[in-house]
Amino acid sequence: MAQRVQGTEDLFGSYMRAWQRMQDVAREVFGTYGFDMIETPAIEQVATFVHGIGESTDVVRKEMFRVFSGALVESLLAKGSESGLKAKQRLALRPEGTAGVVRAAVQNNLVPQGSAPAKLWYAGPMFRGERPQKGRLRQFHQVGVEWLGAPDPAADAECIVMLMQFFERLGFPSQSLRLSINSMGDGACRPAYREKVRAFILDHADQMCADCLERAELNPLRAFDCKNDHCHAVMAGAPLAPNNLCEDCAEHYEQVKRYLDEAGVCYEEDPTLVRGLDYYTRTVFEVEVVGSGVGAIGGGGRYDGLMELEGGKPTPGLGFAVGFERIVLALESQGVLLGEDSQECVYVACTPDVRSSVFGTVLALRNAGIRTEADYQGRSLKSQFKQADKLGATICVVLGTDEVERGAATLRNMRTHEQVEVSLSDLAKRVAEQLA
């Protein structure tokens, strides 16, 4: 039997309905904040991710799935190196949505000079070559938003408020959500802060793991995320970002917190929250569900330098993304199911001699917008009823020889088993009345 790739999932039935429901809630909630949907390709030039996410991040260095056509693989094997490849031949599956959306905003001039900010949301599969485990997949699904052209701290606070509303609309009890925030500074204060952290790690080199020593060279702030308990304990004494902000960043962060307080949003300040993508400046945030054991269900922040890194004019930006698969697991930990098991439907059953009448009856009900099922396998009337039960039908329309001759049908309420005869000419109307 053919197998699906490890760390990927098939979406069908109630799981698929949950993914659709999540997008419906996103459309409703983000729509009230003025966001429109965008869809960018799942495949982009490697450069788009290297510029945006950062060359030294794990996502770019270790987790990005590179894409080569068969012909290109043959020529690479013959040459033994990819050094001669042009940028347009270096392709990757997107590990996240932000870099591609920002690339699209630059390429399509979505934030022209003097215009209002672009407010975009998206939903789709992302790909990271991580070691698969619970809540960590190689193909997973994100819903995300990007807000381009808004430097005001009110935008950071609105983004966070919108994210929390989205989670509550999905069914998370508000006390189950833990929101952490931090400020990582900007081009003015972060370089000096990064050097301080690098110096701290090197001062404690004998107590840190080999990965952290490598991080000290490439990306010292990532040492805050080291899973090694010992490194974690050492990093507890490292210089913290909020104590190393320039005046503008400190004021921006204070204003974000004042707005969050005004909105009544509960948050925890986590001065070690650094996030795994290099494009962030100033506000960063993450949401976890207490006790769910699946890690962050969403995260994001401000990225005021990203438009420029992708070749555009300097334009501030911010956004977040949430992970569908982790949200489903986290909701389950709270006893909430996102996709209903089955959907209400009507079943048209018949005796064998009037089978040909089913076709038109089903058509009439569906034309009236009623979800309708019937038998296409020549089952007996008894097993048609069983099938109707399995499908969760609330009403059975029964066509028998006598009824059809009289231009009538029997409506059978599947819960109460009450039956009434109705005329076929106003069947759809009568079924709709009963469903209501």
Q: Please give the residue ranges that form the binding site for ligand HAM (CB under 6 A).
A: 96-98, 128, 130, 135-137, 140, 142, 144, 146, 276-277, 296-301, 319-323, 325-326
Residue closer to ligand HAM by CB (options 150, 346) is 150
Structural contact between residues 263 and 33, judged by C-beta atoms closer than 8 angstroms: no
In the bound state with ligand HAM, the residue whose beta carbon lies nearer, of 139 and 372, is 139
Q: Which is nearer to ligand HAM, 241 or 348 (CB)?
A: 241
Q: Is 40 helix (H, G, I), strand (E, B) or coil?
A: coil
Indicate the residue among 122 and 193 with the shorter CB distance to ligand HAM: 122
Question: Cα separations (Å) of 357 from 269, 348, 409?
Answer: 67, 10, 11
What lies within 8 Å, CB to CB, of 103 at 6+ separation is 40, 44, 48, 52, 310
Q: How far is the CB of 359 from ligand HAM (least distance, A)?
A: 45
**Minimum distance, C-beta of residue 72 to ligand HAM, in the bound complex (Å):** 27
Looking at the Cβ atoms of 62 and 406, the one nearer to ligand HAM is 62
Q: What CA–CA distance (Å, rounded) separates 196 from 274?
A: 15
CB of 268 to ligand HAM, least distance (A): 16
Instruction: Find where tokens 């991040």 sit.
Output: 57
Q: Is the Cβ of residue 138 or residue 430 nearer to ligand HAM in the bound state?
A: 138
Q: Which residue, among 435, 401, 403, 405, has the nearest Cα to 421 in the 3D structure?
A: 403
Pairing of strands 345-350, 372-374: parallel
Minimum distance from residue 302 beta carbon to ligand HAM (Å): 8
**Shortest distance in whole angstroms from residue 133 CB to ligand HAM:** 9
Q: What is the number of other CB atoms lying within 10 angstroms of the CB of residue 184?
A: 25
Which residue do the tokens 């899973």 mark? 227
Q: Is 140 helix (H, G, I), strand (E, B) or coil?
A: strand
| Alpha helix segments (H runs only) across 130-189 | 153-170
Q: Could you tell me if 178 and 290 are in contact, meaning their C-beta atoms sit under 8 angstroms apart?
A: yes
Q: Cβ 128 to ligand HAM, closest distance in Å?
A: 5
Question: Of the two residues 11 and 345, which places its CB atom closer to ligand HAM in the complex?
Answer: 11
Count of helices and strands (H, E) across the chain: 16, 16
| Chain position whose Cβ is nearest to ligand HAM | 323
Nearest distance from C-beta of residue 11 to ligand HAM, angstroms: 13
